[in-house]
Amino acid sequence: MALVLKISGRVFDNEELVLKYAEILNKLPGRIAVVAGGGEVARRYIAVARKGGASNTFQDLLGIYASRLNALLLISLLKDAYAKVPRNMEEFLEAWGRSRIVVTGGFQPGQSTATVAALVAEAVRAAALLNAANIDAVYSDDPRKNPNATRLSELKYDEFERILRSSNLPGGYELIDTWAVSILKRSCITTYIFDGRTPEAIEAVVRGENPGSKITC
């Protein structure tokens, strides 16, 4: 069974972390689809574009190009990854099956890389989606705001959706968008959320552990 790994864009702002991810992916057995986020480069380019009056379409495209740059960096460090960054689902399906690892970035405007990861997980009928996030687990509320927020090791998609919706207020914490969740839920794909700064968590999940939160349908 294949795995899908979503790597937060922020990971790519840290050189050592990128090399560590490559090292782990080179050792990991089985087939893996990786989806890279945009990170600091994306944010910086989007800011300039917005300042100059660019449309939302182009702001999003800049984020997508930045995520593809991150994807290519990872490809350059892997031993048996597909040599190109697929730009949409049809290209991804074409790439998948020819190489052990396929790395992609964003697909199109108006869509997060988390949603790309969910769609990819559905397309490869993934055993699980591993989300290397900016937070170490799912909490009942934003832990940076609410000291009473409790850490949730295991939860169902219905509960996850409720949490995301209630915290989707100004100040709410961005973990994954509801569109991505609805896709994972409709195909019953288990999601693991863990801290992106600890790439060893990937190996933990493969060993059957739960280094952060595990979400099931």
Q: Please check if 106 is assigned to a binding site.
A: no
Q: Please report how close the Cβ of residue 26 comes to a second copy at its closest, in angstroms.
A: 10
Both tokens of 39, joined, read 């990170």
| Kind of pairing between the strands at 151-152 and 138-139 | antiparallel
| Nearer to a second copy (CB atom), residue 26 or residue 146 | 26
> Given the rule CB under 8 A, which residues bind a second copy?
15, 18-19, 22, 41, 45, 47-49, 51-59, 61-62, 65-66, 68-69, 72-73, 75-77, 83-84, 87-90, 93-94, 96-99, 107-111, 115, 118-119, 122-123, 125, 179, 183, 186-187
* Rounded Cα distance, 182 and 207, in Å: 27
CB of 82 to a second copy, least distance (A): 8
CA distance 217 to 200: 25
Of the candidates 58, 87, 74, the residue with the CA atom closest to the CA atom of residue 24: 74
Cβ proximity to a second copy: between 19 and 151 the closer is: 19
Q: What is the DSSP letter of 81?
A: B
Nearer to a second copy, 199 or 212 (CB): 199
Calpha distance 90→108 (Å, rounded): 13
Binding site for ATP, by residue number, is: 6-10, 39, 43, 134, 139, 142
